[in-house]
Structure 1
Amino acid sequence: MNDSVARTLIQILSSSITSLLMFLLFYKLYKPKYHNKTVYIITFFFSIICIVLVNQFFIKMNIAYFNSIFLFVYACILNSLMFKEKTKKTFIYNAIYIVVSVFANVSSVLLCSVITGNDFAAISEDIKCVLMFNNFYCMFMVIVWVIFISVIIKGHLEAIKFRQLLLIGLFVLFALFVEYNFTIRIDNISDVITDLFILIGFLIVSIYIVYVTGEIARAYKDKYEYELMRNQSQLQLEHYIEMNNRYEKSRVVMHDIKKHLEVLRSLKNLDSEQAKEYSDVIEKEVDVLFEGFQCSNKILSVIMSQKISEAENLSIKVETKIEDILFEFVNDLDLTAIFANLWDNAIEACQKIKVEDRFIRILIGRVNDFYVIYFENSFNGYVKKRFDNIISTKESHKGVGLSIIKASAEKYSGTFNVLNDDTVFKVEILLPIE
């Protein structure tokens, strides 16, 4: 009787962990169909009961290997009923989950066999071995799941250091050692329950350790991307400073030329109508060089002038409604990061659609105690997202334009919002005036 109760408790724990991992995985990967979380809580407990009963049935019928097939079919049905996602994607992820589960089962059995010296039949008959096997299986599944969610899916794998992986490995070995030594000393049902609580404690600590590792990896990656942002913005700023210097020098030269034209007009021997017309034409050509966007902030003037010209050369219709704002509290590096990347993203998006549909609209002004920067542009409607965050559509995944803009806005306690429909992409930045 005690063995029967212990096996049931072990099975319930194992099935609960399996169901929980499956549900959390689906929540991370797919969009729920229903907003009421109670529906998912009820479904979760129903899944535990269903998995336990079916697993017990397969064991009694001596066809335990059917359990994996059942889990796969059940997961596919659950996806279609509870989540919004394409069947192909859910099929692939469910298959991966089942493969990992089978691998965890086999690995746990082999590990138990190596430790105890028993074969599979003996392991399944000995309650201590059954408990040891389920402990190994649960720990393996939890650690793999947390690594998959916290590190691989979020794209932080490359930022993990070797010492962090070593720490996780050492902790797992320590947990297995403690579990093994406690399991072989089990004499009654109370020992089984105690061992299950120890297992739960190790699982919680394992989740925390792997989660912290993922956060550390994310911090390393954020730091790396921030350095890329600063370097890119610094190069852009240097470029625009150089352009502004050249522009100022050209203004001096053009000013001198206009003086010379005035002298030419005053010369008696050129005092003819034709000479005046000629000098007027030259003066108009010189004035053209001074045309372009002008505001109190010189760096912004250069950026806007260059980008407007670049857009118009690509047959992009540009509409602007801009107040003369100095942006006095924003340093030149951050101002360059914001506007250069807004322009680059908008121009790149317009280049991917038909010429007649290309446009960029810009609004810059003051509303109450905020500076408002608003860009909208036509685009092809394709937005690539990962966990509700827009990411680069470049194959190299090195485009960090929106990340640069967001980081620069948040530096001044500002807000950064992105909206889009099928044809228009919009970015709005609010900077509180200091």
Structure 2
Amino acid sequence: MSYLLSFLSSYIVFDFMSKIDRNKFYKRKVYIASYIIFTLALIILYGITGSEVLNVIFSLILTVIVGHFLYNDQKVYILYYSLLIVVLTIFQIVISYIFNLIYIMGIINFYDINALSLAISIVIQFASLIASRLFVNWYKQKSITNFTKVQFFNFLVLPIFSILYIVTLMMYMETFVSTTDNLLLIFNITSIIFLNIFITNIFQEISKKNEMKNKINLYENQANMEYEYYNSLEEKYKESRKVIHDIKNHIQTIENLYKDNEFDKAELYKGDLYKMFNKLEQKYYTYNKVLNIILNDKCEKAKRYGITIDCKIGDVNLEKIRDIDVTTIFSNLLDNAIDEVKEFKQDKEIFVKVDKFNEFIVINVTNKLKSKIVKIDSELKTTKKNHEGLGLQNVKMAIEKYEGTLRIDFDDNHFKVNIVIPTN
């Protein structure tokens, strides 16, 4: 029965990790094998040490390892997996104390101490299952996904402190067994539960604040681009009025040159006139207003470095993607490409292609590559100074909202980003 309860305890942990967000998926047999190995490892370790305290520590370590490599490798989920073990441990201690108090008070009776121990174990496991499900429901409403490394470290202190505090209480429990002491222990354990909930809520608010700050920065970036775009339109409108005002004079000049057989001068004059018109032209890439503004803005930026951006925008509907995410995707990709290509002395080209293929929106951005690309913790980093790869991370976060995928291909000379977003 103890072994069966051990498998139930492991099931609670695996059930929790499978129900919260995950970015790793393997075949079912991998999880079954991991589940069996996880359970047997805990049984063996507990059999060797015979210590409840070490068993909790081993459970915490193994849970974090399994969760990180089989369910979600984002660092923030280490906190959730650790917090699960903390909550379950506290919950088990509370249930055990309550059950023992009921037994001591004579409300229930067991003729065999082993039967009492087994009953407590069964109640604890089923209560833990309920606690795990409640924790999952809480998580879905209050998820923490966005905070700095310092905030992450501060939050990590919470589960570590809780584990150490629980260990101390368990050592204290072995010495003092009076009713008053039991009530005091229950009060302390309850306080730890509320402390975990309270601190987690605080960090959830910090996460929201950081996420809102990022959104505000994006909106400001988008607003600045729109401001520059409409300023440019206004300037070109003023220039076009001047040209229109003098258009008759220009036409008459060209006609006179042809009449005087000054064909070369007439062609030259006509070419200058075309260049003047081209400067006044605001390119129309797509009917999506935000994307059109971004492309015009980035093309102007690229021109300052002598870079040509070759844009091919097909008849694709981007209404599914919010304007702020359109800004995140294209601004980051084009800024990264411009920063890379501007280092070249010739062949400064960037290729942008957006089109629809079957039921998918396909976005391709290709540019020449000069800096070295390295892979650190499954993330691509560039050796270029002051580049931390945050742009691509933001792009990935934006497209994941629409169940899209991002693929990066690169060699010694070229860097290509391929994005696929389902239209449904």
TM range (shorter): 0.5 to 0.7
Inter-CA distance 194–385: structure 2 relative to 1 (3 Å threshold)? same
Aligned residue type for 2:240: H
Aligned partners of 1:35, 1:12: CA distance in 2, in Å? 20
Aligned residue type for 1:303: I
Aligned partners of 1:158, 1:50: CA distance in 2, in Å? 24
Indicate whether 1:361 and 2:351 are aligned.
yes
Indicate whether 1:343 and 2:334 are aligned.
yes
C-alpha contact 1:372 1:429 (8 A) present in aligned 2: yes
Aligned residue type for 1:406: I
Aligned residue type for 2:420: I
Q: Which runs of 5+ in 2 are unaligned?
A: 146-203
Aligned partners of 2:39, 2:79: CA distance in 1, in Å? 37
Aligned residue type for 1:286: M
Alignment of 1:142-161 (within 5 A): 154-156=74-76
Alignment equivalent of 2:298, drawn from 301, 307, 311: 307
Q: What SS class does the counterpart of residue 217 from structure 1 fall into?
A: coil
Inter-CA distance 431–242: structure 2 relative to 1 (3 Å threshold)? farther
Give the equivalent residue in structure 2 for 1:119.
none
Aligned partners of 1:13, 1:319: CA distance in 2, in Å? 64
Aligned residue type for 1:382: V
Aligned residue type for 1:242: Y
CA deviation profile, 1:208-237 (whole Å, cap 9, x unmatched): 455555542337477556534542342233
Indicate whether 1:178 and 2:91 are aligned.
no
C-alpha contact 1:363 1:374 (8 A) present in aligned 2: yes
Alignment of 1:394-409 (within 5 A): 401-403=394-396, 405-406=398-399
C-alpha contact 1:318 1:359 (8 A) present in aligned 2: yes
Give the equivalent residue in structure 2 for 1:417.
405
Give the equivalent residue in structure 2 for 1:242.
227
Aligned partners of 1:191, 1:362: CA distance in 2, in Å? 70
Q: CA RMSD in A?
A: 5.6
Alignment of 1:27-426 (within 5 A): 40=34, 43=37, 47=41, 51=45, 55=48, 105=51, 134=52, 138=55, 154-156=74-76, 171=91, 174-175=94-95, 177-178=97-98, 180-181=100-101, 187-212=112-137, 214-215=139-140, 216-218=142-144, 220=204, 223-224=208-209, 227-228=212-213, 230-265=215-250, 283-290=273-280, 293-297=283-287, 298-311=289-302, 313-314=304-305, 318-323=309-314, 327=318, 332-347=323-338, 350=340, 360-368=350-358, 371-377=361-367, 380-383=372-375, 401-403=394-396, 405-406=398-399, 410=402, 415-423=403-411, 424-426=415-417
Aligned residue type for 2:144: R
Q: What SS class does the counterpart of residue 382 from structure 1 fall into?
A: strand
How far off its partner does 1:255 sit? 1.6
Aligned residue type for 1:199: I
Inter-CA distance 320–174: structure 2 relative to 1 (3 Å threshold)? same
How far off its partner does 1:304 sit? 1.2
C-alpha contact 2:88 2:128 (8 A) present in aligned 1: no
Aligned residue type for 1:177: Y
How far off its partner does 1:302 sit? 2.9
Aligned partners of 1:153, 1:369: CA distance in 2, in Å? 30
C-alpha contact 1:16 1:48 (8 A) present in aligned 2: no
Q: What SS class does the counterpart of residue 280 from structure 2 fall into?
A: coil
Aligned residue type for 1:192: S
Q: How many residues align?
A: 331
Q: Which runs of 5+ in 1 are unaligned?
A: 1-8, 56-63, 68-104, 106-133
Aligned residue type for 2:354: I
Aligned partners of 1:246, 1:174: CA distance in 2, in Å? 66
Inter-CA distance 323–188: structure 2 relative to 1 (3 Å threshold)? closer
Q: What SS class does the counterpart of residue 374 from structure 2 fall into?
A: coil
CA deviation profile, 1:84-138 (whole Å, cap 9, x unmatched): xxxxxxxxxxxxxxxxxxxxx5xxxxxxxxxxxxxxxxxxxxxxxxxxxx3x665
Aligned partners of 2:100, 2:57: CA distance in 1, in Å? 15
Q: What SS class does the counterpart of residue 407 from structure 2 fall into?
A: strand
Aligned residue type for 1:373: I
C-alpha contact 2:286 2:313 (8 A) present in aligned 1: no
C-alpha contact 1:179 1:195 (8 A) present in aligned 2: yes
Inter-CA distance 34–353: structure 2 relative to 1 (3 Å threshold)? farther
Aligned partners of 1:142, 1:158: CA distance in 2, in Å? 13
C-alpha contact 1:19 1:47 (8 A) present in aligned 2: no
Report which stretch shifted further, 324-333 or 252-261.
Answer: 324-333
CA deviation profile, 1:261-313 (whole Å, cap 9, x unmatched): 43544789xx7779978965753552342357423535433321332343465
Aligned residue type for 1:420: I
Identity between Structure 1 and Structure 2 (%): 14
How far off its partner does 1:430 sit? 3.4
Aligned partners of 1:138, 1:200: CA distance in 2, in Å? 15
Aligned partners of 2:325, 2:33: CA distance in 1, in Å? 47
How far off its partner does 1:178 sit? 2.1
Aligned partners of 1:168, 1:14: CA distance in 2, in Å? 14
Inter-CA distance 397–168: structure 2 relative to 1 (3 Å threshold)? farther
Aligned residue type for 1:190: A
Aligned residue type for 2:299: I
CA deviation profile, 1:394-413 (whole Å, cap 9, x unmatched): 669697521553166x2xxx
How far off its partner does 1:342 sit? 3.4
How far off its partner does 1:239 sit? 2.0
Aligned residue type for 2:374: Y
